């Protein structure tokens, strides 16, 4: 059985760093052991923005060595904007960054691991998997 490609969202990383004994942290630990972890650069930027210390910044910078770092393709932002438009037409106002993360997950064939419920709504528009 091959490992899944898992895109761990900012919400999960925050939960992981805040409480390493939580059920979220235990699930992250399983993913880290069993699967391939993909991290979009936008998530690294979000985590760095919310860092509370130089130590936290250092841990996040280590992501570049520890995980598959992924970035946009030529039309990723166009797809994210289109997805956001379609969601707004359905009455759903989803953050553009979440739309972008969903697009990146789809482009890299990743399963999204998020605590953010917006991704369930995004699934009504594009084919992206979640755990």
- Which of 47, 68, 67, 69 shows the shortest CA–CA distance to 58? 47
If you count them, how many residues does the chain have? 131
Task: List the chain residues with pLDDT less than 70.
Answer: 1-2
pTM to 2 decimal places: 0.88
**pLDDT value at position 18?**
86
Residue 124, sorted as left (phi over 0), alpha (psi -120 to 50) or beta, turns out to be alpha
Task: With respect to residue 128, please indicate whether it lies within any of the assigned structural domains.
Answer: no
CATH of the domain at 63: 3.40.50.1010
Cα separation, 82 vs 105, in Å, equals: 16
User: Number of folded domains in the chain?
Assistant: 1
**pLDDT value at position 101?**
96
**pLDDT value at position 1?**
47
pLDDT tens-place string over residues 3-14: 799 999 999 999
């Amino acid at each position: 059985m091959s490992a899944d490609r898992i895109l761990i969202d900012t919400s999960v990383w925050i939960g992981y760093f805040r409480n390493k004994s939580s059920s979220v942290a235990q699930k992250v630990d399983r993913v880290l052991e069993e699967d391939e972890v993909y991290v979009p650069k936008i998530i690294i930027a979000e985590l760095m923005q919310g860092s509370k210390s130089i130590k936290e910044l250092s841990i996040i910078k280590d992501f570049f060595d520890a995980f598959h770092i992924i970035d946009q393709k030529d039309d990723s932002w166009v797809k994210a904007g289109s997805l956001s438009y379609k969601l707004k037409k359905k009455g759903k106002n989803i953050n553009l960054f979440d739309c972008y993360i969903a697009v990146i997950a789809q482009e890299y064939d990743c399963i999204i691991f998020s605590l953010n419920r917006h991704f369930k709504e995004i699934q009504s528009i594009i084919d992206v998997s979640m755990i």
